[in-house]
Structure 1
Amino acid sequence: MRWLELEGAVNARDLGGLPTVDGGRTAERRLLRSDNLQGLTATDIKLLVEEFDLNTVVDLRSTHEVRSEGPGPLTAVESVRHAHHSVLPERGRATDAAADALLTRRERLVARYPDDPMCAFYLGYLEDRPDGVIGALRSITRSRGAALVHCAAGKDRTGVVVALALSVAGVEREVVIEDYAASGTRIGAILARLRASPTYARDLERGPGDDEHRPRAETMAAFLEQVDLRYGGVHSWLSGHGFDGDETETLRAKLLAEA
Structure 2
Amino acid sequence: MLWLELEGAVNIRDVGGIPTEDGGTTARNRLLRADNLQDLSRSDLDYLVDTIGLSTVVDLRTASEIESEGPAPLTKYAHVAHVHHSLLPEQSWGDNSPDALLTRRQEDEARYAGDRTCSHYLGYVEKRPDSIVGALRAILRSEGPALVHCAAGKDRTGVVTAFALSVAGARRDAIVADYAATAERIEAIVRRLTASETYAEDVLRVSLDRHTPKPESMAEFLEQVDVRYGGVTEVLAANGFTTEETSALRTKLRS
Name the counterpart of 2:81. Answer: 81
Q: Write the letter of the residue equivalent to 1:184.
A: A
Using the TM superposition, give the Cα deviation of residue 104 of structure 1 relative to its aligned residue in structure 2, in angstroms.
3.0
CA distance in 2, matches of 1:165, 1:154: 15
The residue type paired with residue 64 of structure 1 is S
Identity level (%)? 58
Q: Distance in 1 between matches of 2:10 and 2:244?
A: 35
AA aligned opposite 2:161: V
Question: Does the CA contact (< 8 Å) of 1:102 and 1:121 recur in 2?
Answer: no
> Unaligned stretches of 5+ in structure 1?
none
Q: TM-score, normalised by structure 1?
A: 0.95
Taking structure 2 as the reference length, the TM-score comes to 0.96
CA distance in 1 between partners of 2:94 and 2:174 (Å):
30
Q: Deviations over 1:13-36 (max 9, x none)?
A: 011111111111111110000000
- The aligned residue for residue 246 of structure 1 is 244
Give, in whole Å, the separation in 1 of the partners of 2:93 and 2:168.
34
- Deviating above 6 A after TM superposition, structure 1's stretches of 4 or more consecutive aligned residues are 98-101
The match for 1:208 is 206
Partner of 2:120: 121
Rounded Cα–Cα distance in structure 1 between residues aligned with 2:149 and 2:214: 19
Do residues 33 (structure 1) and 33 (structure 2) align?
yes
Contact 2:94/2:202 (8 A) holds in 1: no
Q: Residue in 2 aligned with 1:232?
A: 230
1:11 alignment counterpart: 11
Alignment CA distance shift 1:26-1:230 (3 Å): same
* Structure 1 residues 151-190: aligned runs within 5 Å: 151-190=150-189
**Contact 1:4–1:13 under 8 Å retained in 2:** yes
Task: Give the C-alpha shift of residue 93 in structure 1.
Answer: 3.9
Q: Distance in 1 between matches of 2:46 and 2:97?
A: 36
Q: Residue 114 of structure 1 contacts residue 120 of structure 1 at CA under 8 Å; is this kept in 2? A: yes
Question: In structure 2, how many angstroms separate the alpha carbons of the residues matched to 1:84 and 1:157?
Answer: 13
Q: Deviations over 1:41-86 (max 9, x none)?
A: 1100111112211000000001110000000000001110000000
**Residues 128, 94 of structure 1: CA spacing in aligned structure 2 closer, same or farther, 3 A cutoff?**
farther
Number of residues of Structure 1 aligned to a counterpart in Structure 2 = 254
Q: Does structure 1 conserve the Cα–Cα contact (< 8 Å) formed by 2:56 and 2:142?
A: yes
Distance 1:186 1:235, change over 3 A: same
Q: Report how far residue 94 of structure 1 moved.
A: 3.6
Question: Matched residues in 1 for 2:202 and 2:9: separation?
Answer: 20
Aligned to 1:140: 139
2: CA distance, partners of 1:191 / 1:81 = 28
Counterpart Cα distance in 2 of 1:92 and 1:227: 23
Q: Go from structure 1 to structure 2 and tell me whether the alpha carbon gap of 1:124 and 1:82 turns closer, same or farther (over 3 Å shift).
A: same
Contact kept in structure 2, 1:19 and 1:26, CA below 8 Å = yes
Corresponding position of 2:216: 218
SS in structure 1 opposite 2:143? coil
1:65 alignment counterpart: 65
Aligned to 1:52: 52
Alignment of 1:87-106 (within 5 A): 87-94=87-94, 103-106=102-105
| Matching residue's letter, 2:103 | T
